[in-house]
């Protein structure tokens, strides 16, 4: 049973640490628009906050002697040292990285950069990324199989798509972004992919 929860709605009558919620006077309330799915509360909006160990996709916005600043679809930026990358990155370059550390002002130290020079970048709410990936990567596997595209998904909500039928891949990612809260999403996405790839091969 899915139920929409609005900011300020009571989520639990005791303190619970749930993404997209806050606690007050021993109770837990929604801080953002969310969906209650059985016992889970799934935020539908929310800014990305960097976390150690997460894979992200960023855009180079500044180049310094010591390294690069990356925009991470977040109020918080990432810092990539020149020691981490052999090749020179241009402003606007799309790069997949891993977060090594996060300081007290939430600036992320990035490592293991993987430039994605040919990629088309799609932006989605970071809280909806798990819907795009699916359980054990199932949704992402289906999309890549039908589109023959290479899709790199950042936990921060930037999705880099290259090769194959990029237009179809972009359409599907945008559909998931729009309809992530609607039941039966996997079936609708699979039908859309089968229909479109059937047209291509028909």
**Residue range 2-43, CATH number:** 2.40.50.100
pLDDT of the residue at 201: 52
Residues of the chain with CATH 2.40.50.140: 55-115
User: In the block, which residue shows the tokens 């090769």?
Assistant: 163
Burial class (CB in 10 A: 0-12, 13-18, 19+), 123: middle
pLDDT band at 21 (very low <50, low <70, confident <90, very high): confident
In whole angstroms, what is the distance from residue 119 CA to residue 169 CA?
12
> 1 to each of 4, 43, 128, 183, how far by Cα in Å?
10, 16, 19, 9
Instruction: Return the higher-pLDDT residue of 152 and 86.
Output: 152
Return the minimum-mean-pLDDT range out of 24-33, 82-91, 102-111, 153-162. Answer: 24-33
Residues of the chain with CATH 2.40.50.100: 2-43
Residue 147 has pLDDT above 80, yes or no: yes
Which DSSP symbol is given to 90?
P
Residue 174 has pLDDT above 60, yes or no: yes
Residue 91 has pLDDT above 50, yes or no: yes
pLDDT band at 94 (very low <50, low <70, confident <90, very high): very high
CATH architecture of 55-115: Beta Barrel (2.40)
What is the assigned CATH class of domain 120-201? alpha beta
């Amino acid at each position: 049973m899915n139920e929409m929860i609005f900011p300020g709605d009571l989520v639990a009558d005791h303190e619970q640490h749930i993404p997209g919620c806050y606690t007050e006077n021993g109770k837990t309330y929604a801080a953002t628009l969310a969906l209650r799915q059985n016992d889970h509360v799934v935020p539908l909006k929310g800014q990305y906050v960097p976390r150690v160990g997460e894979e992200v996709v960023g855009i180079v916005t500044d180049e310094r002697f010591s390294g690069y600043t990356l925009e991470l679809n977040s109020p918080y930026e990432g810092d990539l040292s020149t020691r981490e990358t052999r090749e020179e990155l241009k402003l606007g370059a799309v790069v997949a990285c891993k977060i090594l550390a996060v300081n007290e002002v939430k600036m992320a130290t990035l490592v293991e950069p993987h430039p994605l020079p040919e990629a088309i970048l799609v932006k989605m709410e970071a809280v909806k990324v798990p819907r795009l990936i699916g359980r054990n990567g199932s949704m992402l596997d289906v999309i890549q199989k039908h589109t023959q595209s290479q899709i790199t998904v950042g936990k921060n909500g930037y999705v880099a798509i290259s090769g194959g039928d990029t237009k179809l891949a972009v359409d599907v990612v945008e559909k998931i972004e729009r309809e992530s809260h609607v039941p039966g999403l996997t079936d609708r996405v699979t039908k859309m992919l089968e229909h479109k790839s059937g047209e291509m091969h028909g």
